[in-house]
A = this chain, B = another copy of it.
Amino acid sequence: MPPENNQIQGEGYLAVRTVIELTRTMDLLEDLLARHLAHFNLSQPKFNALMELYYAGEEGLPLSELGERMLVSRANITGLIDRLQRDGLVVRAVDPKDRRVIRAQLTPRAVQLIHGVLPLHMNLLKQATASLNPEEKETLIRLLTKLQEGLEKL
């Protein structure tokens, strides 16, 4: 059972290292963002949903549309909106044009919360990436985009 002749060599090494470093970086980043959002009783999914609704404007978004933008299932959106509604940050509104549709809309309290959180959040992202200079950030963005193009084909 031990890993005697199991060392990763040559071509495989860089592939494994790339995946490991990506994973570690995201773990650290998610932890940082979660700690920040917790100060406002928000989680990352809640924050993402609020941001989508904020940029969508007054009419809000159909739950299905919100799910597509957040890349999560419709069933999950039901629960997420339930919790945001319970927090008083979102309301459900029927769509006058299609009675199958329910639109999620921000409450005034949610807009106020976002105005408080956004500048601090922006600042945190700057701090989080401050160890890279602008040129390095551009290189990283370019390499990640290239990697994504390959991943999308699989």
Contact = CB atoms under 8 A, between A and B. Distances in A.
A143 interface: yes
Contact of A128 (B27, B130, B145, B154): B154
A78 interface: no
A29 B137 contact: no
Copy number in the complex reads: 2
Interface of A: 1-3, 6, 8, 11-12, 14-19, 21-29, 32, 54-55, 57-58, 71, 106, 111, 118, 122, 125-132, 134, 136-141, 143-152, 154
Given A3-B55, A22-B29, A26-B26, A132 B143 contact: yes
A131 to B, nearest CB: 3
